[in-house]
Copies of this chain bind each other. A is one copy, B any other.
Amino acid sequence: MSEGENRQNEALERRVRADARRNLDGLLKAAMEVFATSGVDAPVREIAGKAGVGVGTLYRHFPQRSDLIVAVFRREIDACADDAPVLAAQYPPGEALSRWMQRFVDFVSAKRGLSAALHSGDPAYEPLPAYFDQRLRPALENLLQAAEKPGEIRPGMDAIELLHAVSRLASAGGDDARRMVALLVDGLRYRAGDTQG
């Protein structure tokens, strides 16, 4: 290959058109707003309308409805994961765990439809649980290990399993969700230090 052709090895074949990027951003913004008010089941046309584009344009950027939902939720997951180390540095292990759990509950409760998408089983949403696990599992694992060491909770709890369970409980929303998650965490504490059956 000639050096001229190779300049900027990636992004060689023409950069994305400005209107395309504009519309993609507008669609994400519109979708976030619509999902927040009407829920994730809102008609595609409503989102396209709010973004000021045709449905064809929407489908060019997000080949399936679910792709748009996934794109919107993806960016909401990071902030939650990043809070884990902060709380770990700020509180004793057991309390850091409790607090992050409540933080997580509030997050899932606020995003109506996240839990449903997560547990739908529909392969179209598969990238969402994948990202969810990849990002949140290490966060929770660190908290669990820190609390295991001094014997505050039972050892060997699987982080993914716990994460999924809590996200299910969280979908109830409100104080019920918070109480039930607290109860579940208390389950981790029950007979935590036992060595005999």
Q: Which of B164, B179, B189 contacts A161 (CB 8 A)?
A: B179
Q: Mark A162-174, 1 if CB is under 8 A from B, else 0.
A: 1011001101100
Q: Which of B161, B162, B172 contacts A165 (CB 8 A)?
A: B172
A32 interface contact, C-beta 8 A: no
CB distance A171 to B168 under 8 Å? yes
A110 interface contact, C-beta 8 A: no
A190 interface contact, C-beta 8 A: yes
Question: A146 to B12, alpha carbons, bound, how many Å?
Answer: 72
Q: Mark A96-135, 1 if CB is under 8 A from B, else 0.
A: 0000000000000000000010010000000000000000
Known: A183-B184, A184-B187, A185-B187. 15 other contacts (CB 8 A): A116-B116, A119-B171, A161-B176, A161-B179, A164-B176, A165-B172, A165-B176, A168-B169, A168-B172, A182-B187, A183-B187, A184-B184, A186-B186, A186-B191, A187-B187
